[in-house]
Structure 1
Amino acid sequence: MSSTTEPSKEAPVSNVSSSSAGGGATILIALQVGSRALTFIVNQILLRYLSPELLGISTQLEVYSISVLFFARESLRVAIQRQTDEPGNGKDEGKKDEKVPGGHVDGRTAAGKTQAIVNLAHLSIYLGVVFAVILAWLYLRYTDPIVLQTPYFQGAFKLYSIAAVWELLAEPCFVVVQHKSLIKIRGRAEAVATVLRCLMTCGSAIWASRNVVDIGVLPFALGQAMYAVSLALVYYGSVWDVSSAGGFNLVLTPIFSDDKAAYILSYFSRPLLILGTSLFVQSIVKHVLTQGDTFLITALATPVSQGIYALANNYGGLLARLILQPIEESSRNKFGKLLSTVDGAPSKTKIEEARKDLLMLLRSYALLSVCVLSVGPTVAPLLLKIVAGSRWTTSGAGDVLATYCYYIPLLAFNGLTEAFVSSVATESEVNRQSIWMLAFSAGFAGSAFLFLQVLEMGAKGLVWANVLNMFFRVIWSTAFITSYLKRHGSTLSLGEIAPAPLTIAAGFGTYAVLRQTATTFNGGFTDLVKSGGIAAVFVVMLAFSERAYLLQCWNSMRGQGKRD
């Protein structure tokens, strides 16, 4: 994130082309589609062997692992995005001939800039050990005793702890890959790790079933351990040569700088570390909001309800993980460099380029939202019955998944708008955002208590609590973006984002027709065919209504492909 004073000591930012950002997003999307498709297949197999209770417990373990990783690396990752690969500016040229001490990397060179982020990444490893211990103590102290009695739970929990720290060992390689846009290396590492995790998880579950051995949630833990080990090994095997050619090291290495205050203990960039520290408080609040649904349902709901919500969340969040998350990552990386203030205020040209990209993504998200809201609530339960079986649909998971469709559009807009905010906000603005995040967190907890305990809506109530929370977060980040663009002589209006009136009308009509048709459903395959036919008509109407915009997007993608 941009900061007010300290980060301005960093090197000037390099131009990031739309083509490179788009290409990175394309590769990440392809990676997500492949890995999620494989994971999806494995999950269908596991659902035949798992009860809702075990799925709920496995979700708790996953949240523990995610929490350790998030607290250890997220704030540092965001801060590191402000670092550039360019050598120092002109004022250092007269000092280039200064002798660099042995064992040091010159901080004024591109190698020195990269070494700075590698050194910071090592902090994530140490933080990971600390958070693994603290969060493990908290979880074991306050979790339901019934959960602790699950077969092989203690062994599975220890494996998750070790796997989280092991995955953090790959962080120095990850930041290099991300910094230098070596997306293919990331794709290879994550693909190999995902395949091995799926094989280990599925293989151990099938073995236990055939041998009539109850190993509880141990298959998930074995899979997570395999993922962490293989991820680190592939990363180091791929990035080691990159570090040798680039003149930097993947281990902690002191950095030489004529500015003695630039690096703490000659290892850690002071501006980046200060920014990362200020972001850490916000990351805690953000994580509580992101994973708050799991925390609350663990505290307020039965293991069965936890399993139902976990299933709906997994399927409902597929779109976010496959498409939206890679776009969010790529956008944050591009906006962070394009609108960086380390070399002064961004130019009018860069502001307009960022505005144009943001506007196109927001408009695309608006069209996607119309599709999801029109078709999703009716079709999603039908698809769930096919892939998960009637055992899960009769448990109420279908209704929860239908409700989740109202949450997806807000999830999409929030991810993109907060990516922009995190890329341009100053340190004071980050602190102000953290205060608002705390308010949203309190509101979310209150609404969740109302829906879960007072109204007894179960997992469906938790989805509605998420909807309210995400709505206010989108409002806040949109207001911030509007204010930011206005300060830089630009604008962003709702009319530029909203779909055409015909598109909106077609969406409402499709929703009404599908809801009416659903009253005749009997749970057979013909119901899916009927819904698919209605959805196809809607898609044709949308394509006609938005033909000018879709043609513009197509031409933009073709131009990007030629540049690539």
Structure 2
Amino acid sequence: MRLFFFFLTELSEVFFFLHFYLSFHLLLTSAQLVGLLFRTGLIEPAWRFFRNHWKTPLCQKTLFNGASLLSSRCLSPYLFFSEMPACEADGEGRERRLRPRPAPLLLTGSRRDCGAISWRRRPWPRRTCSARPPGWPPPAPCCRCAAAPGSSSSSSSSSSSGVPGGSRPSPSQPSGVSFPCQVLFRAVTFGLNAFTLRHLSRELLGVVNVRLTLLYSTVLFLAREAFRRACLSGSTKRNWTKTINLLWLTVPLGVFWSVFLGLVWLHLLEVPDPSVVPHYQAGVVAFGLSAVIELLGEPFWVLAQAHLFVRLKVIAESLSVVSKCVLTVVLVILYPQWGLHIFSLAQLLYTSVLVMCYIIYFGMFLGSPEATKKSFPVTRMKALLPKVVEDETFLNWKEARLTWSFFKQSFLKQILTEGERYVMTFLNVLNFGDQGVYDIVNNLGSLVARFIFLPIEESFYVFFAKVLERGKNVKDQKQDDIAMAANVLELLLKLVLLIGLTITVFGYAFSQLALDIYGGSMLSSGTGPNLLRCYSLYVLFLAINGVTECFTFALMCKEEVDRYNFVMLALSFTFLCISYFLTHWHGSVGFILANCFNMGIRIAHSTHYIYDYFKESTYRPLTGLLPSPVLILVYVVSGVITVFSEVFFCCDKGWMARLIHISIGAVCFAATIITMFCTETKLVHFVRSQFLSRYMKKGT
């Protein structure tokens, strides 16, 4: 009972400060927003749009994505959240992204799409007869599009044929878990994470979130990534016995990598001070063992993924995350002296619950009337174990060779994906405390890139690829299409530029306050505020780079893409080298400065491509990067005022001083938005027509 009241008191304190701050800020912002809507005449269409669409799946998905990002991306990668799988299988059993991501094999953002370089595959879009900016109602397909093999009319039958019985859920089908429950789950875990951060040291967070998580992710990546990609390729109509035999090879491979890397982590890397981070050796063993336990469920996972068991995936990951969350909080309160034992036990519980969910589900599903009705390819649990088939090979050698081809790419891909963490871990450029703070701030900063810029990049990549033909110069394109693309690109550049400038200007003065509310003095003192301030500047680079590259990639021919891939590969290793030197000079801020340099080079390349593309025409879309001088002046004045406000009122002068600082920031923000509406009328019209009016007409 004492534990319960202690936990309730601490949690209520966290939620009180969060609620008080957010309610006050939301009240001011809402009043300003309503005033602007009345002045611009948008209040009536906005209310009509919300009234007609708030119950639609698109609107609920948008709300849920916002809640999910606020919960999962603000958290450390270890504590309470596991990344949702980015891919599912389509009707033919091939790997399919849950969100359309603009391909060829490209080196683009980090593991969080904003950091070290990573690989991302973008599908070549089919050029249709008509294309409109995102938000426009889709045109009626012509006969050529309607009869195309990839059209909906023809794909519906082919997709259903992949599953025995002809009933296959769509990848966009709801998971079956109610929307309020998912939002409540994310909100609770977000609050619990903020609570837990106040009871942990920086050094412990650094070891868990960087050192041990890197061991866990590296073992899993090297052991199963190639197998997943190979076994999810092709049709679901296959010899599943041989595929399952191949998948079970991930277990001995995982044992090998776990032992090998575990020895490296124990004997070749710096060992934390036992008085600060106790039980490091046990933590290495536990995280390596948890990776092997998770590999025991790999055949079940691939089988579920190939047949689109979305609800199973959501429930299994939710239960495992909740179990890890609850155990971590309880052990942190009861036995804080246990150190890494807390996270070791929580990690083992997480992987065990995850695997058991799949095992229990298939144990109940296989042999059931539903499985028989669908002619499911596996009929009993024993068939999910390795099995030697008489007069047949043990493996499907075509899949095995494909796995080996993917495996040879794994090393380079993993190094580029986790570049920052490998630099931290093997080169000792940061102490464990700075590593922990950097990881949390990096997750916080990536919220904007994930929630705002990534959807814009993905949507308009498809638009540009449909409007303009790849590989043709500006003279060979239709002039109407060129005019539309140039106009949209100019306004889109201005939109993301203003968003990035707003985040940079106001993020600088409110970084310390945000970190203090979220994680207490552990984050708001030391290097945390400077990290978030630099990340606010990095967001501006991310905003511009996302749009310029989405246009460039939509028009590059295959030869240009191949050349660009080599440039990106060289730039990736340059980034790692610059990160090493800058962190020696500027500490953890050096990683963000290296990312800014990396993004600056990529922006220079893509803007040069855009300039060369349009130089033979009368259009100059790069002028979108030049905002109004009056608006620039307002940004400068707002930045100066909020910086002085932070000096005088934040953050160790009590909550009344903080509220004054927030009020000053709200007034400056309102002045900036009003100036934006007055000086950028063309942009305002673009936003109204593309993101509001078209959806409203579509709904009515």
8 Å CA contact 1:125, 1:165 repeated in 2: yes
Any residues of structure 2 matched to 1:459-498 within 5 Å, and which?
459-472=588-601, 495=621
Identify the range of structure 1 (175-184 vs 377-386) with the bigger mean alpha-carbon deviation.
Answer: 175-184
The reply to whether residue 291 of structure 1 matches residue 418 of structure 2 is: no
Q: What's 2:634 paired with? A: 509
Alignment: residue pair count: 487
Matched with 2:687 is: 550
Q: Is the 8 A contact 1:279 1:430 kept in 2?
A: no
**Cα distance in structure 1, aligned partners of 2:604 and 2:595:** 14
Matched, 1:207 2:344: no
Alignment-mate amino acid for residue 222 of structure 2? F
Closer, same or farther in 2 for the Cα pair 1:327/1:548, shift >3 Å?
closer
Q: Could you tell me whether the CA contact under 8 Å between 1:328 and 1:419 is conserved in 2?
A: yes
Q: Of the candidates 35, 48, 56, which is equivalent to residue 198 of structure 2?
A: 48
Q: 1:518 to 1:409 in 2, by over 3 A?
A: closer
Displacement, 1:518? 1.4
Counterpart contact for 2:220–2:254, Cα < 8 Å: yes
TM-score normalised by length of structure 2: 0.55
Do the aligned residues in 2 keep the contact of 1:33 with 1:322 (CA within 8 Å)?
Answer: no
Q: Is the contact between residue 111 and residue 246 of structure 1 (CA under 8 Å) also seen in structure 2?
A: no
Deviating more after overlay: 416-425 vs 51-60: 416-425
Instruction: Indicate the percent of aligned positions where both proteins have the same amino acid.
Output: 24
Alignment match of 1:228 (pick from 348, 351, 363): 351
Q: Distance in 1 between matches of 2:505 and 2:385?
A: 53
Query: Quick check: 1:218 aligned with 2:351?
Result: no
Q: Is the 8 A contact 1:328 1:415 kept in 2?
A: yes
TM-fit CA distance, 1:65: 1.5
Matches within 5 A, 1:337-352: none
Q: Aligned to 2:573, which of 439, 442, 445?
A: 442
Taking the aligned partners of 2:398 and 2:546, their CA distance within structure 1 comes to 30
User: 1: CA distance between counterparts of 2:607 and 2:417?
Assistant: 22
**Aligned ranges for residues 133-532 of structure 1 at < 5 Å?**
133-147=259-273, 150-176=277-303, 178-179=305-306, 181-209=308-336, 214-238=337-361, 240=365, 245=374, 247-249=376-378, 251=384, 265-266=395-396, 269=399, 272-273=402-403, 275-277=405-407, 279-289=409-419, 291-292=421-422, 294-295=424-425, 299-319=428-448, 368-408=499-539, 410=541, 436=567, 439-453=570-584, 455=585, 457-472=586-601, 495=621, 501=627, 506=631, 509-510=634-635, 512-521=637-646, 522-523=649-650, 524-525=657-658, 526-532=660-666
Q: Equivalent residue for 2:213?
A: 62
Q: Counterparts of 1:224 and 1:420 in 2: how far apart (Å)?
A: 42
Q: Which blocks of at least 5 consecutive residues in structure 2 are unaligned?
A: 1-102, 106-147, 156-169, 462-476, 614-618, 651-656
Specify the SS of the correspondent of 1:405: helix
Give the letter for the 1:402 counterpart.
Answer: R
Residue 52 of structure 1 deviates from its aligned partner by 1.7
SS at match of 2:384: coil
3-state SS of 1:143 partner: coil
User: For the residues of structure 2 that align with 1:417 and 1:186, how far apart are their CA atoms?
Assistant: 35
Deviations 1:373-420 (A, max 9, x none): 343222222211222223532323111111122234556787999999
2:639 aligned partner, one-letter code: L
Does the 8 Å CA contact 2:245/2:394 hold for their aligned counterparts? Answer: no
What is the alpha-carbon distance in structure 1 between the residues aligned to residue 338 and residue 598 of structure 2?
A: 37
Q: Distance in 2 between matches of 1:64 and 1:404?
A: 26
Structure number with larger C-alpha Rg: 2
| CA distance in structure 2 between the partners assigned to 1:202 and 1:372 by the alignment | 33
CA distance in 2, matches of 1:419, 1:123: 39
SS of equivalent residue, structure 2 residue 278:
coil
CA distance in structure 2 between the partners assigned to 1:300 and 1:533 by the alignment? 41
Distance 1:281 1:273 in 2: 14
Distance 2:178 2:556 in 1: 25
Q: CA separation in 1, counterparts of 2:359 and 2:272? A: 41
The structure with more helix, counted as a fraction of residues: 1
Preserved CA contact (<8 Å) 2:222 2:407: no
Contact 2:503–2:536, Cα closer than 8 Å, also in 1: yes
8 Å CA contact 1:160–1:225 kept in 2: the answer is: yes
Aligned to 2:71: none
- Deviation, 1:519, is 1.3
Give, as a single letter, the amino acid of the residue that structure 1 aligns with 2:406.
G
**In 1, Cα distance between equivalents of 2:359 and 2:557:** 34
Q: Which moved more, 1:552-561 or 1:193-202?
A: 552-561
Query: What value does the CA root-mean-square deviation take over the aligned residues?
Result: 5.4
Counterpart amino acid of 1:251? Answer: L
Query: After alignment, is 517-526 or 537-546 more displaced?
Result: 537-546
**What CA deviation, in whole Å up to 9, does each residue of 1:308-339 have, x standing for no partner?**
3233223223445667789999999xxxxxxx
Partners of 2:243 and 2:556 in 1: how far apart? 20
- Partners of 1:2 and 1:119 lie apart in 2 by 31
- 8 Å contact from structure 1 (residues 255, 266) kept in 2: no
> CA–CA distance in 2 between the matches of 1:152 and 1:132?
18
Task: Please give the TM-score of this superposition, normalised by the length of structure 1.
Answer: 0.67
Deviates more, 1:177-186 or 1:458-467: 177-186
Give distance in 2, aligned partners of 1:115 and 1:557: 48
Give the 3 Å change call, closer, same or farther, for CA 142–434 of structure 1 in structure 2: farther
CA deviation map 1:89-120 (0-9, x unaligned): xxxxxxxxxxxxxxxxxxxxx43298887666
User: Which residue matches 2:63?
Assistant: none
Q: Deviations over 1:62-88 (max 9, x none)?
A: 22222222333445555666x355xxx
For residue 282 of structure 1, report the CA deviation from its aligned partner.
3.7
Quote the Cα distance in structure 1 between the aligned partners of 2:357 and 2:535.
36
Name structure 1 gaps, 5 residues minimum: 4-11, 86-109, 333-347, 487-492
- Relative to structure 1, the CA distance from residue 394 to residue 281 in structure 2 (aligned partners, 3 Å threshold; closer, same or farther) is closer
Secondary structure, in 3 states, of the residue corresponding to 1:395?
Answer: coil
For the pair 1:71 / 2:222, whether they are aligned, the reply is yes
Do the aligned partners of residues 231 and 28 (structure 1) sit closer, same or farther apart at CA in structure 2, a change above 3 Å counting? farther
Specify the code of the residue in structure 2 equivalent to 1:303.
F
- Per-residue CA distance 1:13-61 (angstroms, 9 max, x = gap): 95589xx777789x99999976664443223222222222222222221
Please give the alpha-carbon distance, in whole angstroms, between the structure 2 residues aligned to 1:70 and 1:329: 26
- The residue type paired with residue 315 of structure 1 is L
Using the alignment, how far apart are the partners of 1:115 and 1:15 within structure 2?
33
Distance, in Å, in 2 between the alignment partners of 1:236 and 1:559 is 48
Distance 2:280 2:355 in 1: 25
CA contact (8 A) 1:111 1:247 kept: no
